[in-house]
Amino acid sequence: MQKVEMERNTMKNFKFKKILKCIKFSTLTFVLLTLIAWLHAGRVEALPEFPVPGKVTLVNFYADYCFACRMLKPVLEKIAADHGQSLAIVNVDAQNNLERAKKMKVTAVPVLFFYDRDGRLHLRHEGFMKEEKIRAVLEDMGLP
């Protein structure tokens, strides 16, 4: 009888210790995930101010997961190389800059904003834009 009772107590102790380990592990996991989220939330991508004074500025709101955004990237790089210092292109990761995206009323990506040299909005375009169309808009804004 005593042996059976000892075995029960041992089993209860074992179950209790196992439950305690699970609680400790869960608590530690929760604390680590909370810390990681807190550290990540504190990171804000530094953005240059836009529009850039004295330059035609093209602002591109994009997201890494967006296929159209990935297609647009080499197009914008080519246009930037062709126009040199006369054109400022500012790429804004909409996911890492939610406040800025909200302020600009960006609800989908990509979104392109074209600003003239005086900082006035010339055109807002949602979705992919072909290279020829971008060049036509820039030409309309006075860029060769």
Confidence check: pLDDT of 8 > 50: yes
Question: Do 39 and 60 share a domain, yes or no?
Answer: no
pLDDT mean over 136-144:
95
Question: Do 14 and 37 share a domain, yes or no?
Answer: yes
Question: Do 60 and 131 share a domain, yes or no?
Answer: yes
Question: Do 64 and 135 share a domain, yes or no?
Answer: yes
Compute the distance between CA of residue 55 and CA of residue 49 in angstroms, rounded to an integer.
Answer: 12
The answer to whether 130 and 99 are in contact (CB under 8 A) is: no
Compute the distance between CA of residue 31 and CA of residue 123 in angstroms, rounded to an integer.
Answer: 46
What is the rounded average pLDDT for all residues in the chain?
85
CATH number at residue 126: 3.40.30.10
Domain that holds residue 13: 1-43
Between 43 and 111, the higher pLDDT residue: 111
Question: Do 129 and 69 share a domain, yes or no?
Answer: yes
Question: Do 130 and 69 share a domain, yes or no?
Answer: yes
Question: Do 132 and 63 share a domain, yes or no?
Answer: yes
The answer to whether 110 and 128 are in contact (CB under 8 A) is: yes
* Residue 48: inside a domain: no
Confidence check: pLDDT of 91 > 90: yes
pLDDT mean over 75-91:
95
Buried b (16+ CB within 10 A) or exposed e, 57-66: bbbbbbbeeb
Question: Do 39 and 61 share a domain, yes or no?
Answer: no
Tens-digit pLDDT profile for residues 19-70:
767 677 777 666 555 555 555 554 445 566 889 999 999 999 999 999 999 9
* Residue 75: inside a domain: yes
* Residue 51: inside a domain: no
Q: Does an H or E element contain 71, and which?
A: helix 67-83
Q: Does an H or E element contain 8, and which?
A: helix 2-42
